[in-house]
Structure 1
């Protein structure tokens, strides 16, 4: 019940009781007034109720404060958890973006000449950190966007000459070449380039038609590594 209503009921009851007492007994002016026993009990009960309600309100406020503090701690914990997850993801990305490879053609014999241009496959993998180079296709696929450094070297005999192009997707970037020369016993050459790649870009070596290289585990190589992620 609303306190104002309860107080109104109490006051009304006291007035009625006072009126009843006035009609029955005429008080002397100098007599000390006192409440009726029932009314006194009711007022005492009302006062005790107010105290209990005040205590309950205090406890409720304390509970709300503790709840707010718990919510704040929970939010702090969630923030720290997100920060930890971000740091873990960053560490995983750093591990994933270590990209270094080096491979040789292998074989132990001449590769080519062919009637058409051929993608040169370097089958002997020396290093392949990050698994971005495939010894089955001869193609390097950039796992992340960044600047990469690539080198190509070749060894061949004098008869057909050698012409190798380093490709980025379908675009020629650099080349290494030797012309046929019957007075020489062997040719060697190479080239290198920094390439800016997007994730998924392909880099590979194409050997031009009617040229050849010496295939071995040591002479003709294709290498590269990630310099800086972007």
Structure 2
């Protein structure tokens, strides 16, 4: 039980006791008159004054305690609000810290990926094993260089014969083709569907061969391939005569 509740109980006891006291005093007065004695109004008034003073004190105590209780409740509410603000601030700071850590991880991964991307080089020959001719075909045909010697960065696909630029930059490519028992042999270097350079050789007998090289600017996703000239036939064996190579010179 709180102090305010206790004071209220005391006050109620006094209020409840007052009518009873008045009744007793009235009864006593009647008996006194009956007995031929005069009542003592001064005693009744003294009791009433004491009760009234006690009630006033109790009322004052209740008022003070109520004010103190209101101040305490206001203080607790203020502390609760402050705690909520601190909690919210802590959550915001934690969110900002989490976001900053994620950004740092993303940046580190991008730097790591960029470091790997800047290391791009490949070299491959036409046949994986054995020997034989490729062509002739009616149209330009993409050559698939299956025997991969180097493929740093995995930008060259040995199943399609296509090199895909992983980063914007300047690249250099070399290609060579060897013919057999043919008067001519040749192959183009293509960037996407754009013909860049042509390597071509013709001779009446023997083994005609042709080679060329080019440095080109590639955007991310650009594709580079070597395509056999229509009607041309090329040859390769375990000596790897027909080749395709390329590497990144620098990023841009």
Using structure 1 for the length normalisation, give the TM-score: 0.68
Alignment of 1:143-158 (within 5 A): 143-157=166-180
* Residue in 2 that maps onto 1:100: 121
Q: Is the 8 A contact 2:186 2:210 kept in 1?
A: no
CA RMSD, Structure 1 to Structure 2 (Å): 3.3
Q: How many residues align?
A: 198
* Residue in 1 that maps onto 2:183: 160
Q: Secondary structure at the match of 1:127?
A: strand
Q: Is the 8 A contact 2:143 2:228 kept in 1?
A: yes
- Structure 2 stretches lacking a partner, 5+ long: 1-44, 46-54
Task: Give how far 1:123 is off.
Answer: 1.7
- Structure 1 stretches lacking a partner, 5+ long: 1-23, 25-34
Alignment of 1:4-19 (within 5 A): none
Aligned mates of 1:126, 1:105 — CA distance in 2: 11
Which is greater in Rg?
A: 2
* Residue in 2 that maps onto 1:53: 73
The question of 1:77 aligning with 2:102 is answered: no
The question of 1:226 aligning with 2:248 is answered: yes
Q: Is the 8 A contact 2:185 2:209 kept in 1?
A: no
User: Which of 235, 238, 245 is matched with 1:214 structurally?
Assistant: 235
Q: Secondary structure at the match of 2:157?
A: coil
Task: Give how far 1:95 is off.
Answer: 6.3
Using structure 2 for the length normalisation, give the TM-score: 0.63
User: Which of 214, 219, 225 is matched with 1:193 structurally?
Assistant: 214
- Greater shift in the superposed pair: 53-62 or 70-79: 53-62
Aligned mates of 1:168, 1:58 — CA distance in 2: 71
TM superposition outliers: structure 1 runs of 4+ over 6 Å: none
Q: Which has the larger share of helix?
A: 2
